[in-house]
Amino acid sequence: MYKVNEDYLKLPGSYLFSTIAKKVNAYTQAHPEKKIIRLGIGDVTQPLAPAVIEALHSAVDEMAHAETFKGYAPDLGYAFLRDVIAEKDFKARGCDISADEIFVSDGAKSDSANIQEIFSRDCRIAVCDPVYPVYVDSNVMAGRTGTYDTKTEQWSNVIYMPCTAENGFVAEFPKETPDIIYLCFPNNPTGAAVTKDKLQEWVDYANKVGAVIIFDSAYEAYISEDNIPHSIYECVGARTCAIEIRSFSKKAGFTGLRLGYTVVPKELEHGGVTLHSLWARRHGTKFNGAPYIVQKAGAAVYTPEGDAQTREQIAYYMKNAAYIKKGLTDAGYTVYGGVNAPYIWLKAPNGMTSWEFFDYLLEQVNVVGTPGSGFGPSGETYFRLTAFGSYENTVEAVDRIKNM
C-alpha cells in the first residue's frame, strides 16, 4: 500500500493570500459600490515590450515550417540565450561567468524550490525573516526541517536571520553555522537592497564556514543606486560559494511567459563533486528545456530595443514606487524600500498589528496591501505595498491614505 510523503503534511496552510482574498470578497459583497484598489499584487500589469512580442511572433512562424521547426530545446538552454546572458548580465559587469555555467529554466520559483535537491538532507538552511516562503517550504517537503511551532511560527532545524529596521533589513551572520544560506536582494517583501561591501562580507563568511549562498536576484533590474551589486559574482570569491537565481518575470514582464535561469559556477565543489555536475544531472533528468519561442523572447530583452523598452516598464513601476514612498513619508509613515525594488515596506501606525492595519486600510480607504506578518514573525507590524499597479490607481490609493 502506498504512503504519502509525510513531510508535506507538516506544512501549515498557506493562508496569507487566501485570507486576503476572503476579507476583500466579504468587504466587496457588503459594499458593492466601493472601488477597491489593490496594491498587494506581486504580479506585473504592463504588457510585454514590443521587441518581445515581435520575437514571439517570428519564433511562432518558425515553428510553422519544417525547415525552421524546433522540437525539444537543449536541457540547459539554447546557446543564443546563454551567450547573451553571460555577456550582458555578467561579463559587462565584470563578473567571470561563462555561458556553460548558466542553466535556463522556466523561472526563479521552480529553481529556488528545486536547488535544495542537490544537497544532502543533513544540511542546515538559514533564511531571512521575513522571507519569500518558497525557500523554506521546499526544504520542508524534502524533509530537511524539523517541526513547525505555531506559536513562534518557525521550524525547528532552520536558522532564522531576523531582518529588522535596526539592521536595515539585511541579515547578520547567525549564531549557529548554516550549510545553505538563502539571500534575496533586492528583497521581497522588504524592498531592501544589500551594498556590495555587505554582500562581500557574506561571501567571505560563506567561504570561511564552507556554506553555499543561494542568491535570489529576481529584482536585480530594479536597482537604481550605484553601490548595490546586480550580481553576487561582483564580489571576490563568490565563484566558490554562491549560486545565483534570476528571473525574466519582473525584469521584462514574463510572469505569464515563464523564463529564468540559475548560475552554478564550476568551482563550487565538495569532496571532488561539482554542484554544476549535479544541477546539470538534475536538469537533464527532470526538465526538458524552456520553450524555444520563450527563449527567443528572452533573447529579445537584450537587444537595444528590448533593453530600452523593458527599462521603460521598470521606470514606470519605479515611478509608482517613488510616489508611494514620498506620499506616505509626507503623511508621517515610516517607510522603507521602493528605491532599488518595487516593494514598499511600511510600519503600521499607532502600534497596530499587520492584520489590524490591513483591515483598517480596507475599511477606511478601500486599499488592499499585504500584511508583513504573512512573510514571517519579524514582519509583524509591517505592511507591504507594491508598485506593480497602474500609475492612476497608485496615485489614487496614496492620496486616499494621505487624506485618511
**Residue ranges in contact with ligand PLP by CB under 6 A:** 42, 107-109, 112, 132, 184, 188, 216, 218, 247, 249, 255, 260
Cell triple for 196: 556590495
Minimum gap (Å) between residue 343 Cβ and ligand PLP: 9
**Residue (77 or 327) nearer to ligand PLP, CB:** 77
**Residue (187 or 366) nearer to ligand PLP, CB:** 187
**Residue (42 or 74) nearer to ligand PLP, CB:** 42
- Single out the residue of 287, 295, 302, 293 nearest to residue 259, CA to CA: 295
Minimum gap (Å) between residue 289 Cβ and ligand PLP: 16
**Residue (262 or 309) nearer to ligand PLP, CB:** 262
Q: What angle do CA 323, 387, 95 make, to 5 degrees?
A: 110
Minimum gap (Å) between residue 4 Cβ and ligand PLP: 26
Phi, psi (degrees; rounded to nearest 5) at 185: -145, 135
**Residue (114 or 247) nearer to ligand PLP, CB:** 247
First to last CA, the chain: 60
Which residue shows C-alpha cell 539554447? 78
Q: Are 174 and 206 in contact (CB under 8 A)?
A: no
Minimum gap (Å) between residue 173 Cβ and ligand PLP: 21
Count of C-beta atoms within a 10 Å radius of residue 386: 29
Cell triple for 90: 555578467
Phi, psi (degrees; rounded to nearest 5) at 305: -70, -50
Minimum gap (Å) between residue 189 Cβ and ligand PLP: 8
Which residue shows C-alpha cell 536571520? 161
Q: Are 178 and 160 in contact (CB under 8 A)?
A: no
DSSP lists the bridge partners of residue 53 as none
**Residue (317 or 365) nearer to ligand PLP, CB:** 317
Minimum gap (Å) between residue 132 Cβ and ligand PLP: 4
DSSP lists the bridge partners of residue 103 as 262
